[in-house]
Amino acid sequence: MKNIIEKLATKIGIEFRDITLLRTACTHRSYLNENKVSGMEHNERLEFLGDAVLELVVTSYLFRKYPEKQEGELTAYRSAIVNTMSLIKVAEHVGLNEFILLSKGEAKDTGRARAIILANAVEAIIGAIYMDQGYNAAANFISEQVLQVIDIEEIIKKKLWIDAKSRFQEVAQEKESITPSYKTLKEIGPDHDKKFTLGVFLKDVHIASGTGQSKQEAEQQAAEKALEAKGW
């Protein structure tokens, strides 16, 4: 396990003084449920810390880069950069999936739940770097592994700080003078663990579908796929 974590440290270009911090950052709570005597910690505290450091670094970056922008716009840009979808891109860029410690059950899930775990682990790694080497090292990592991966100009140009459902509605009304509608296509599972599949339609034309643990989550995913399908 140590060799695997050291491989990740080499990959992200950080020589940790305390490599156990990076191991903790890569340890999901579910792993400890199956390895109770491991003496390890899960990554949620580091995730909490890394989230705060990430927000500060990105806020500082945007403040300097866009001196003409007001608070509301800067807040929107920051939200788009630090949101889960952006951090999933960072996790993919780093190849984080092969380093995460999960329960056997979680390891089988390759869908959205896994993607969210990976996004959270990115924040935990930022927290680990901050704890091990301080603010400047964490800021350098964010600059190289987050701000270089996420296309901020594209976010601004395509208004990606707006949630997918609102964005799809805005463009659909502009280009086709149609307000999208959403319909529930499927509900599966017990009440405490239900999954919804919803379709988004322009008039009677089914554009895309999305799945989530709430109808709102399914709508957002459907809208994201609809934007891709329409090339918007």
Question: Above 90 in pLDDT, residue 224?
Answer: no
Q: Which residues belong to the active site?
A: 51, 123
User: Could you read off the pLDDT of 163-206 as tens digits, one per residue?
Assistant: 788 889 989 999 999 999 999 999 998 877 788 999 999 999 99
Task: Give the pLDDT score at 108.
Answer: 67
- For the stretch 109-160, pLDDT in tens is 666 678 889 999 999 999 999 999 999 999 999 999 999 988 888 877 777 6
Residue from 55, 39, 35 nearest 47 by CA: 55
Give the pLDDT confidence score for residue 220 in this predicted structure.
87
Prediction pTM value: 0.73
- pLDDT tens string 85-106: 889 999 999 999 999 998 877 7
Determine whether the annotation assigns residue 123 to a binding site. yes
pLDDT, one tens digit per residue, over 24-70 is 999 999 898 887 766 789 999 999 999 999 999 999 999 999 999 99
Strands, DSSP E only, in the chain?
181-188, 195-202, 205-212
Res. 71: pLDDT tops 90: yes
144 known ligand binder: no
Q: How far is CA 111 from CA 115, 117, 118, 192, in A?
A: 7, 10, 11, 19
Residue bearing tokens 């990105």: 58
pLDDT for 13 equals 92
Burial class (CB in 10 A: 0-12, 13-18, 19+), 73: middle
Q: What is the pLDDT of residue 1?
A: 58
- Structural domains present in the chain: 2-157 (1.10.1520.10), 164-230 (3.30.160.20)
The radius of gyration of the chain from alpha carbons, rounded to an integer in Å, stands at: 20
Mean pLDDT score, 219-225 = 90
DSSP 164-230: HHHHHHHHHHHHHS---EEEEEEEES-GGG-EEEEEEEETTEEEEEEEESSHHHHHHHHHHHHHHHH
27 DSSP assignment: B
pLDDT reported for residue 70: 94
102, 31 Cβ separation under 8 angstroms: yes
